[in-house]
Amino acid sequence: MNEQGNEGPPLRGSVSSAVFPKHNRLNSWREIFGRQFLRLDIDPLDDGPFHYHARYTALPGLTISAGNVSAIECKRTPELIQDNNDDLVLLTPRRGSMLIRERGMEAVIGPGDAIVRRSSEVGHTRSTSGEFLTVAIPYTAMASRVLDIDRLGFAVIPRENATLRLLRGHLDMLLDGTLGPASTEGDESVLAMAARHVHEVAGLLLDTSRDNWARMSGRDGGLHAARLAAIRADVARHATDPEYSIADVARQHGISPGYIRKLLASQGERFSDLLRTERLERAYRLLADPGNDRVTITDIAYHCGFSDVSYFNRCFRQRYAATPGEVRSARGLLRD
C-alpha cells in the first residue's frame, strides 16, 4: 500500500497486488488485503494472471476508490461481517459487468450502472475484468437522509439517472483532488463540507430511487424495475429503426441478450413483442391524427420501423381488430 498525506485527512494513496511475488500473489492478496482489510473472500474467475490496482481517498465520513481488476468473485460471509461495518457501499463498473446476489435476490449491472448495498449484509458478487468506482459511507450519515432505510435491501440504479451522474462527478473530483480538499489538506471544515455534500447527493439518489430498492421482506419485483424501465425507454427511442434488435439493447446496457430475455420473461413479455407493440402504437397514433391524412399507410408503416407492409397490416389487424384503413376511416380521414 502506498499512502500519502497520513498526517491528517484527506488520506490518499494506492493499493496494488503487484507488491506481492507472482508465485504467491493471489494467496497473499486474498489473506492480507482481502480478508483482513476489505473483509472479503476473493477468488479469480479465470486462469489469467490475477491483478488488482486501485487509488483511494479517505475523507471524514466517506472513502472513495477507483481502479481496475481481473475477473473475480467476492463474498461477504457471515464470519466476515462480524467486523460491525455497516457502511452503505455504492459500486459502479466503469468497464465490465457485475452480478450481485443477496438474500436470494439477484441483479446484473453494466458500465455506468450502480449497486448500493449494506456491508452488514451477507453478499456475493461476480465481476468480469474491468474498471470500477466505489464509495463507502457510514450508515449513520445516511439514516437521517433516507426514509425507512432499515427496511430496504440493495438497490440497482441505472446509468441514465441524472443524480447518479452528478454523484459520480463529485466522487471523481474528490478522488483526483480537483474539488476543495486538494488545496486545503489541513482544513477539516472544508473536508467535512465536501463529505456532507456527497452524503446529501447520495441521500437524494437513494430516497428518489426507492422503487429500485429490493425489499428485504421479499421479492416484490422492485429489483428489476429500473432495468426494465430503461430497456423499455430504449425500445421507445429506437423503435423506428427497422434494424434495431435485442443485441443493440444489450450493447447499450452492457448486459447479455439472454439476461434481457430473462428480465422481460419475468413480466410475461418478449423483446419482439415489446418492439412490435411500440411500432404498432406509433402507427395507430399517426393514423388517428388528422394532420397525417395525406400520408400513405405504406409510408406510415415504414416510418414506424416495419420493413414489410403485409406483415404490418397483419399485425395491426391482430392488435386492433381493424385494418389501418378502417382506423383512418373511422376518424373521418382519407383512405389511401
Which structural domain range is residue 52 located in? 2-218
pLDDT of 18 > 60? The answer is: yes
- CB count within 10 Å of CB 1 equals 11
Best-predicted range by mean pLDDT (14-18, 100-104, 257-261): 14-18
pLDDT of residue 306: 95
pLDDT of 186 > 60? The answer is: no
CA 275 – CA 254 distance, rounded (Å): 19
Nearest to 164 by CA among 194, 208, 125, 130: 208
334 pLDDT tier (thresholds 50, 70, 90): very low
171 found inside a domain: yes
Query: What is the chain's Cα-based Rg?
Result: 25
CA 277 – CA 247 distance, rounded (Å): 18
146 found inside a domain: yes
223 found inside a domain: no
Q: Distance from first CA to last CA of the chain, Å, rounded?
A: 74
Question: CATH number, domain at 313?
Answer: 1.10.10.60
Average pLDDT taken over every residue of the chain: 82
Specify the number of domains making up the chain.
2
Residue where one domain finishes, among candidates 218, 248, 270 = 218
Q: What is the mean pLDDT of residues 124-133?
A: 91
188 found inside a domain: yes
pLDDT of 183 > 60? The answer is: no
Whole-model pTM: value is 0.59
29 or 208, greater pLDDT: 29
Domain co-membership, 146 together with 245: no
pLDDT of residue 214: 56
Nearest to 74 by CA among 116, 106, 45: 45
Q: Are 89 and 136 in contact (CB under 8 A)?
A: yes
In 36-120, DSSP assigns E strands to: 41-44, 52-59, 62-69, 72-76, 88-95, 98-102, 105-109, 114-118
Domain co-membership, 131 together with 176: yes
